[in-house]
Chain A
Amino acid sequence: MTRRASAPVLGEFELVVLLAVLGLGDDAYPVTIRNAIEARTGRQVSRPAVFITLERLEDKGLVSSRYGDPTPVRGGRAKRFFRATPSGVRAVQASLDAVSAMTEGLPLKTKLKHL
Chain B
Amino acid sequence: MSRRSSMLRPTERLLRIALGSAQAATVLGDLQEELDARIATGQAPTFPRIWLLGHAAALAAAACWTSVPRVIRAAGYSMRDAIRGLRASPRTTALAILILTLGMSAATVTFSVVDHVVLRPLPFPDDHRLVAVYGTTSRGRTRIVSPQDYFAFRAGVPAFEHVAAWTAGGTSTVRIGDIVEEVPALVATASLFDVLRVRPMIGRSFGPDHERSGGPKAVVLSHAFWQRRFGADPSIAGRTIVVEGNVHEILGVMPPGAEFPIGVAEPAEIWRPYVPRPQDVAYLRGQGRAWFLQVLARLRDDATIEQAATQVDAATAALAAQHAFYGQWRARVDWLRDALVVDVRGWMLLVLGAVSLVLAVACVNVANLQLARSAVRARDFAVRASLGATRGQLVHAMLVESLLLSVIAGAAGLLVSVWALDVVKSALPDGISRASQIALDGRIAAAAFAAAAMSGIVFGIVPAWQASRTDIIGILKAGTSAASGPARRTWRSGLLIAQVGLMVVLLVATSLLVASFVRIMGADLGFARTNLVGIRVFPVWRGLTAADRSSRSRELFRQSKLALEAVPGVAHVGYLAGAELPLHDTSATMNLQRPGGPDASAPLEVEFRRASEDYLEAAGLRVVDGRWLRETDRDTAVVVLDQIAAARLFGASSAVGRTVLVGDAPAQVIGVVSTVRFEGPEDDPRPQIHLPWSLQGAQGGSPMIVVRTSRPPSEVVPAMSTALTPLLPAGSPPTLITVMDDLYRELTADRRFAAGLMTAFGVLALLIGAAGIYSVMSSIVALQTREIGIRCALGATRSRIASLVLSEAGRHVAVGLAIGLAAAWAVSGIFASLVFGVTPTEPALYLIVVAVLALVALAAAWLPARRAARVDPIVALRE
Contacts and interface: CB of A to CB of B under 8 A. Distances in A.
B33 A51 contact: no
Nearest to B8: A75
B355 to A, nearest CB: 51
A31 B63 contact: no
Query: B interface, by DSSP: helix, strand, loop or mixed?
Result: helix
Interface residues of B, number: 25
A47 B55 contact: yes
Given A47-B55, A48-B58, A48-B59, A77 B29 contact: yes
Contacts of A59: 69-70
A51 B32 contact: no
Interface string B1-43: 0001100100000000000001101111110111010000000
A47 B59 contact: yes
A77 B5 CA distance: 13
A79 B29 CA distance: 7
A12 B28 CA distance: 27
A97 interface: no
A8 interface: no
A67 B22 contact: yes
Given A59-B70, A75-B4, A51 B29 contact: no
Interface in A45-65: 46-49, 51-52, 55-56, 59
B832 interface: no
A29 B27 CA distance: 10
B61 interface: yes
Contacts of A51: 27, 59, 62-63, 66
Contacts of B55: 47
A78 interface: yes
Nearest to B19: A51
B62 A67 contact: no
Given A67-B22, A75-B4, A79-B26, A31 B62 contact: no
Contacts of B25: 77-78
B47 interface: no
> Max chain A CB contacts within 10 Å: which of B23, B30, B58?
B30
A74 interface: yes
Given A47-B55, A80-B26, A73 B33 contact: yes
Interface residues of A, number: 20
A45 B134 CA distance: 85
B29 A78 contact: yes
Contacts of B26: 29-30, 67, 77-80
Contacts of A52: 62, 65-66
Contacts of B8: 75
B596 to A, nearest CB: 111
Given A74-B32, A79-B30, A56 B66 contact: yes
A51 B64 CA distance: 11
Contacts of B28: 75, 77
Nearest to A74: B29
A41 to B, nearest CB: 18
A82 to B, nearest CB: 11
Contact of B62 (A48, A73, A75, A80): A48
Given A47-B59, A67-B22, A78-B25, A55 B66 contact: yes
B504 to A, nearest CB: 57
A46 B54 CA distance: 12
A78 B65 CA distance: 24
A79 B25 CA distance: 8
Contact of A47 (B23, B58, B66, B70): B58
Contacts of A31: 30, 33-34
B494 to A, nearest CB: 47
A48 B30 CA distance: 12
Contacts of A56: 66
A59 B72 CA distance: 13
A48 B65 CA distance: 10
Interface string B51-79: 00001001101110110011000000000
Contacts of A80: 23, 26
Nearest to B28: A77
A51 B59 CA distance: 7
Q: 9 closest A-B pairs (Cβ-Cβ)?
A: A77-B29, A48-B62, A74-B29, A80-B26, A55-B66, A77-B25, A48-B58, A31-B30, A51-B62
Given A74-B30, A75-B29, A79-B29, 14 more contacts: A47-B62, A48-B59, A51-B66, A56-B66, A67-B22, A74-B32, A75-B8, A75-B28, A77-B28, A77-B32, A78-B29, A79-B26, A79-B30, A80-B26
6 contacts: A31-B30, A48-B59, A51-B62, A52-B62, A75-B29, A77-B26
